[in-house]
Structure 1
Amino acid sequence: MQTAPSRRDIALHLLVLCDLSAMIEKLRSSWQWEGPMPEFTAVAGLPALRSTLRAQPWDAVLHCLNHAGCTPTAALKTLRDRGLETPLIVIAEPSDQRMAMKALRSGVHDVVFTDRLERLPAAVEREVREAGQRADHRAALEMLHDSETRFRALASNLPGLVFNLQRDPAGRFRFLYVSEGSTRLLGIAPHELRGSAERFFASLLAADRQGLIASLEESAQSGNPLLWEGRLREDGRWIDMRSLPHRGDDGTVLWTGIATDISRTKNTEAALRESRAQLAALSFHLEAAKEEERERIARDIHDELGSILVRLKIEAALLASKLPAELADKARSIENLLDQAMGTASRVARQLRPGILKEFGLAAAIECQAEDFAHSTGITCRAQCDEGIEADAETSLALFRIVQEALTNIAKHAHASLVVVRLKRENGNIVLEIRDNGRGINECDLDKPKSFGLRGIRERVQSLEGSFHIASAEQGGTLLILKVPQRQGDAVAASEAEPVIQPDLF
């Protein structure tokens, strides 16, 4: 039992190669189709076929054997020369079966004998459908070819190596694809890498090779992107590999990514690190020179100016005892002014080089600085320091200078009425917190090019390998927090100790 042909909503356009009008009428009368009747157009000979093919598209060509004015092979060649997928169906008399089979072997799509023309609609429908599928397949292949061409052009012009690296369940690696960039990057041709992935691993330094294998293993296990940097064995150039893993059902892992030459970036980073190290060394030298100069000035204030002020006070006291009563008040006023000058000299000396820092430690120096700040500015300043905090001289001096700088900034900019300084130990670190209730700080304030105070604090903390954070507090004001490692300083021999300036000079 034959299946009825599917209904078609659009009439087919059939080109009939035949010089017999009776055959056309026979085809038309025998057509059994649940749909519109096809439009039959009859031509004869190759010239007529060529001109008719140019006139419009055709769904199929029917070739009446011995009545077409050309052979099936010539008609088929005409269709192929024009790149057409139009099916060619031969209609033959039963007596021409041998010629019909020969035509079928030459490439025609089907043969229908005149005594079985009821097969023609189904044959036409099948061949038209398959011709459409062939056309779609060819279009897909052309699109795939264009896409592959564009991909290869893109990959070859990228500044690096595009690759597909596969690892099988046994742990063996194989490159499925390698772009032409492998020659520029590694000096190895793509076909050599596809033949042996070991060529790539062998081109790396031994230590970096093990790092890449470990990174591939971690990426395969976790599914995280592969991010690896390493050096080539031959010339020491740096390469960077970035890829995403895809795990197959059979246990294979495929990485698709790119490897690029980052030697210039690495050299720039190294130069930048060296420049920063030189700047840090210069900054350290300047700070050391500054501290030496401060110490010299403080010593001069103590030894020279202090002695002069003491002698002046003694002389003023002797003079007051010998003056008449009406002049004694003036002498005592001079003594009071000398007391103020001595106090000011003592405070300046402590700020320049606090002897209390060496004698009693960091906590006492911070508490003394808080008292001096409150006295000189009128801003309440509370210092809370844990007992027993011991640090080396460099750390103690840096933290003391940070407290000085922070309090100076608060006095200049914060408009605060209360400052709290907290010094404590935390997990092997010394933590310094300075909080005020002023107007707070904005992000733009942190980025100002002339914020030398904050920049100096940050550089001091970095020199101590610590961390630094400053921001507006939740309840208003500004909060500064820094952490530095607690390093115990070695005891200094008394013979080698620097001269100590007393906390109260006079």
Structure 2
Amino acid sequence: MTLYWRIFLLNAAVFAVAVLLLLGPVTVSTPVLLGEAIVLGLGLAAMLVANAVLLRVALAPLARLARAMASVDLLRPGSRAPVEGPGEMAELTTSFNAMLARLEAERATSSARALSAQEAERRRIAQELHDEVGQTLTAVLLQLKHTADRAPGPLREELHQVQETTRASLDEIRRIARRLRPGVLEELGLHSALRALAAEFSTPSLIVRHRIAPGLPTLDEARELVVYRVAQEALTNAARHARASEVEVRLSHRPAGAVRLLVRDNGAGLGPAAEGAGIQGMRERALLIGAGLALDPAPHGGTDVRLDVPADGGTRRREAHR
């Protein structure tokens, strides 16, 4: 039975009962007596209450479906509306679930293309920074040294300061290039890359510790890159936004051969603000490999970023310096 006929028959039943009562024990005089008016008023109230209750029961599956639609988040896939209700209500819920599955698949595909293009662009920019800008600054440093060696005393000191500034700029460009294209990840593997990442973010005001369990399951290149990028983004958030003084990067075993990355800081915590582009980027990367990403308050303040990566059963090169 369609929703239209269900509502129509419910209202028809209420009106039929009212007519039967008027034909039976309830009568109306002209003019209407006080007692008859009270009975009619009570009957009208009873009709409205009965109609409201019956309609609420009939439309309850539609209200639950609307709440499920409002809570959908494509960055947290897997949630589906329960299929309930008769006829077209069940069909509507089934169609919504099918549409949601298609949207999740299309978003995963488009995100994979976008992130692949982003990684390719990062590699290109890193290569240009290293080959073009880096070599140019190296040549400038050599020329400054040559000029400083021949310059008089006061000018030589100024040229030395320019040399130090240029050398600092060259170091910063190399650091940016390493972040854009993690060469240590490609050459030495995930474990060494995480250690290098922890060392890179360590400063006098930020202590970054790393703890990597021995004998972890092997991950393919795509999973390794996602783990590295999530750790990099979590460390960036802890250093720039959370005002943390200590961060721990932990890579450990999980059941069924899975691997967990945990980045725990003692900073300001998540707060009420909406998730930014960095956290959404982490969620999209996690979706690409079927990993679970969770951001929760840390036990003693701060934030826990957890990435649970399923095992792929693949093989790859041995980790260096395990």
The TM-score, its normalising length taken from structure 2, stands at 0.66
> Would you say 1:349 and 2:174 are equivalent positions?
no
1:265 aligns with 2:90: no
Letter in 2 for 1:436: D
Amino acid at match of 2:270: I
Residue 432 of structure 1, aligned match among 261, 267, 278: 261
Deviation at 1:329, TM superposition (A): 2.2
Is 1:422 aligned to residue 241 of structure 2? no
Q: CA RMSD in A?
A: 2.8
Judged with a 3 Å threshold, the aligned counterparts in structure 2 of structure 1 residues 334 and 451 are, in CA distance, closer, same or farther, namely: closer
* More RCO (CA 8 Å, sep 6+): 2
Choose the corresponding residue for 1:475, options 285, 291, 300.
Answer: 300
SS of 1:369's partner is: helix
The counterpart of 2:210, out of the listed 379, 383, 398, is: 383
Larger Rg: 1
* 2:270 counterpart (426, 441, 448): 441
Structure 1 contact 470–480 (Cα < 8 Å) conserved? yes
C-alpha distance in structure 2 between counterparts of 1:352 and 1:387, whole Å: 28
Summarize the Cα distance change of 1:314–1:387 in structure 2 as closer, same or farther, 3 Å threshold: farther
Label 1:347 to 1:383 Cα distance change in 2 as closer, same or farther (>3 A). Answer: same
Shift of 1:335: 2.2
| Distance in 2, Cα, partners of 1:381 & 1:401 | 16
Q: In 2 relative to 1, CA 366–491 (structure 1 residues): closer, same or farther, beyond 3 Å?
A: closer
Asked if structure 1 preserves the Cα contact closer than 8 Å seen for 2:262 and 2:304, the reply is yes
Q: Distance in 2 between matches of 1:478 and 1:307?
A: 40
Q: Corresponding residue for 1:484?
A: 309
Matched, 1:371 2:184: no
SS across alignment from 1:414? coil
How far off its partner does 1:322 sit? 2.4
Contact kept? 1:363, 1:386, Cα under 8 Å: no
Pairwise CA distance, 1:381: 1.4
1:330-375 deviation per Cα after TM superposition (whole angstroms, max 9, x unaligned): 2322222222111101100011111111011112222222222224
CA distance in 2, matches of 1:346, 1:279: 34
Structure 2 counterparts to residues 51-70 of structure 1, below 5 A: none
2: CA distance, partners of 1:490 / 1:312: 45
Q: Name the counterpart of 1:339.
A: 167
Structure 1 gaps, min length 5: 1-149, 160-239, 243-257, 493-506
Where does structure 2 lack aligned partners over 5 or more consecutive residues?
1-49, 60-82, 318-322
Percent identity reads 32
SS where residue 432 of structure 1 aligns?
A: strand
Select 1:463's aligned residue among 261, 264, 288. Answer: 288
**Deviations, residues 201-260 of structure 1 (Å, cap 9, x unaligned):** xxxxxxxxxxxxxxxxxxxxxxxxxxxxxxxxxxxxxxx6x8xxxxxxxxxxxxxxx864
How high is the TM-score relative to the length of structure 1?
0.43
Distance 2:161 2:182 in 1: 30
d(CA) in 1 for partners of 2:182, 2:286: 20
Secondary structure of 2:241's aligned partner: helix
Structure 1 position 327 matched with structure 2 position 162: no
Check conservation: 2:233, 2:278, Cα contact below 8 A. Answer: yes
Q: Equivalents in 2 of 1:489, 1:295: separation in Å?
A: 25
Letter in 1 for 2:100: L
Structure 2 counterparts to residues 91-102 of structure 1, below 5 A = none
Letter in 2 for 1:476: G
State how far apart, in whole Å, the 2-side matches of 1:491 and 1:430 are.
Answer: 16
Superposed, which structure 2 residues align to 1:206-285 within 5 Å?
260=87, 262-285=90-113
Distance 1:489 1:353, change over 3 A: farther
CA distance in 2, matches of 1:306, 1:453: 28
Query: Could you tell me how far apart the structure 2 residues matched to 1:329 and 1:486 are?
Result: 58
Selected match of 1:454 from 264, 273, 279: 279
The one-letter code matched in structure 2 to 1:432 is L
- Provide, for residues 143-170 of structure 1, a one-character-per-residue CA deviation record: whole Å limited to 9, x for no partner: xxxxxxx9xxx8xx979xxxxxxxxxxx
Separation (CA, whole Å) in 1 of partners of 2:107 and 2:232: 23
The structure with the largest strand share of the pair is: 1
Amino acid aligned to 1:277: A
C-alpha distance in structure 2 between counterparts of 1:414 and 1:355, whole Å: 28
Is the Cα–Cα contact under 8 Å of residues 227 and 307 in structure 2 kept in the other structure? no
- CA change 1:292–1:308 in 2 (3 A) is same
In 2, Cα distance between equivalents of 1:313 and 1:158:
79
Shift of 1:408: 2.1
* CA distance in structure 2 between the aligned counterparts of 1:460 and 1:274, rounded to whole angstroms: 19
- Whether contact under 8 Å (1:469, 1:481) holds in the other structure is yes
